């Protein structure tokens, strides 16, 4: 059987946090948006899961994970749900909510990343809000990156297991998410990131350890991995990376 992931086929976006966890956890899953329409996949199949569809528990937006007949949505909620089932989350209730809170902090950061190119509205193109985006981008690098990443460094340093992982003594979906943050920063703002990455040794170490995992290496080398591009959440616009 396995899981079904419903997410846009052409971008990493928020779905990439889910893909990375499923891949690292060795879960059997189908990335429905990337299947052929003739096989019941494609963007139409993704859209059909939303709002008006979905039975008595209709999801609001992708990413959506289907587990049997059950649909779960919101990136952090999916990770918390599935993390328990594929060995990427702690068993203890309080530790589970601690990790989930960290993932929700990542969710908030990703909204800030999004707002560097879409501060006004999703209904406008980047090109229609470039001035506002440039202003938001400056504030993002001045205030938000140090605030969030400085916080994650404290969390990693204070982990009572001293494991170097985000939570507890084992890799969790939080670590695959930190990996994605570092990769995203390096793609979208290579110059800016190169100048500040040294401030975040704990995150960079997690990035390196996750990158070395066999399941992640297989994934990155496969056609399942969608390259970063300027339709996703992390976008490289040279004018925003001085």
- Using CB under 8 A as the criterion, which residues of the chain lie in contact with a second copy when the complex forms? 51-52, 55-60, 70, 72-74, 76-77, 80-81, 93-94, 97-98, 100-101, 104-105, 111, 119-121, 123, 132, 135-136, 139, 143, 148, 151, 154-155, 158-160
- CA atoms lying within 13 Å on the CB side of residue 76: 15
Pick between residue 143 and residue 170 the one whose CB is nearest to a second copy: 143
For residue 195, the minimal CB distance to a second copy (Å) is 21
Nearer CB in complex with a second copy: 43/159: 159
Q: How far is the CB of 37 from a second copy (least distance, A)?
A: 26
Residue 120 or 170: which CB sits closer to a second copy?
120
User: In this structure, which long-range contacts are made by residues 76-82, counting pairs with CB atoms below 8 Å and at least 24 apart in sequence?
Assistant: 76/100, 76/103, 76/104, 76/106, 76/107, 78/18, 79/17, 79/18, 79/21, 79/103, 79/173, 79/177, 82/3, 82/18, 82/21, 82/22, 82/25, 82/27, 82/173
- Residue (102 or 226) nearer to a second copy, CB: 102
Instruction: Between 42 and 164, name the residue whose CB sits nearer to a second copy.
Output: 164
2 in Cβ contact with 30 (< 8 Å): yes
Angle, helices 173-188 vs 93-115, to 10°: value is 10
Q: Min. distance of Cβ 105 from a second copy in angstroms?
A: 5
Shortest distance (Å) from residue 162 CB to a second copy: 10
């Amino acid at each position: 059987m396995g899981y079904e992931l419903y997410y846009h086929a052409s971008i990493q976006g928020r779905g990439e946090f889910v893909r990375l966890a499923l891949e690292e956890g060795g879960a059997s899953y189908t990335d429905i948006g990337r299947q052929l329409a003739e096989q019941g996949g494609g963007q139409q199949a993704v859209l059909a899961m939303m709002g008006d569809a979905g039975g008595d528990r209709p999801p609001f937006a992708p990413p959506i994970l289907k587990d049997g007949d059950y649909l779960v949505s919101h990136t952090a909620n999916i990770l918390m749900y599935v993390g328990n089932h594929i060995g990427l989350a702690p068993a203890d209730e309080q530790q589970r909510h601690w990790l989930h809170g960290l993932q929700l902090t990542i969710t908030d950061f990703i909204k800030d990343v999004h707002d560097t190119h879409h501060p006004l509205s999703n209904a406008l193109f980047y090109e229609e809000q470039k001035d506002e985006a440039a202003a938001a981008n400056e504030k993002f690098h001045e205030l938000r990156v140090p605030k969030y990443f400085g916080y994650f460094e404290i969390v990693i340093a204070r982990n009572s297991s001293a494991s170097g992982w985000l939570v507890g003594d084992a890799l969790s979906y939080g670590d695959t998410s930190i990996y994605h943050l570092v990769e995203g920063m390096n793609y979208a703002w290579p110059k800016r990131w190169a100048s500040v990455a040294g401030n975040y040794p704990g995150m960079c170490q997690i990035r390196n350890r996750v990158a070395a995992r066999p399941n992640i290496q297989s994934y990155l080398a496969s056609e399942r991995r969608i390259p970063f591009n300027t339709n996703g959440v992390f976008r490289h616009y040279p004018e925003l990376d001085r």
